[in-house]
């Protein structure tokens, strides 16, 4: 999986592209874990360019969320498309990973 990384001194934005599935989820989760280890535990996952997510992708997001929260941070998702929002809603994970419309909305409180 390819993803861009940007950020500020307050947070990091990871922007994956394509499908967030069994193949793509491990590198994303590994990068989240690296950021948390580096004490950069406020992370936004910009899903604007992700057109599909499966259970592996959800697992990576939830695992990253858990790691970040244990370090005093958070993982938030932004700009999720229709398929991603539908999967979050069907699994009730939208209650834990509430999707924000924009990166700015996701980072407003930080």
Burial per residue of 29-38, b for 16 or more beta-carbon CB atoms within 10 angstroms, e otherwise: bebbeebbee
Q: At what angle do helices 55-70 and 25-37 cross, to 10 degrees?
A: 0
Q: Which of 36, 44, 54 is nearest to 109 (CA)?
A: 44
- Position 110 in a domain: no
Q: Is this structure's pTM higher than 0.85?
A: yes
Instruction: Judge whether 83 lies within some domain.
Output: yes
Specify the CATH number for the domain of residue 7.
3.30.750.24
Domain boundaries, position 31:
3-104
Confidence (pLDDT) at 44: 98
Tokens of 16: 């994956």
Residue 56 lies in a domain: yes
Is 88 among the domain residues?
yes
Is 109 part of any domain?
A: no
Summarised one tens digit per residue, pLDDT across range 50-70 is 999 999 999 999 999 999 999
Does 57 fall in a domain? yes
Give the count of domains, the chain. 1
């Amino acid at each position: 999986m390819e993803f861009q990384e940007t950020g500020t001194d307050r947070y990091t934005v990871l922007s994956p592209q394509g499908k967030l599935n069994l193949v793509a989820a491990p590198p994303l989760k590994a990068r989240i874990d690296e950021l948390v280890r580096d004490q950069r535990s406020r992370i936004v996952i910009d899903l604007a360019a992700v057109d599909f997510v499966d259970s592996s992708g959800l697992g990576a997001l939830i695992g990253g969320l858990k790691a970040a929260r244990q370090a005093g941070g958070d993982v938030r998702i932004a700009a999720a498309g229709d398929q991603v929002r539908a999967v979050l809603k069907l699994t009730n994970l939208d209650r834990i990973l509430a999707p924000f419309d924009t990166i700015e909305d996701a980072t407003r409180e930080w």
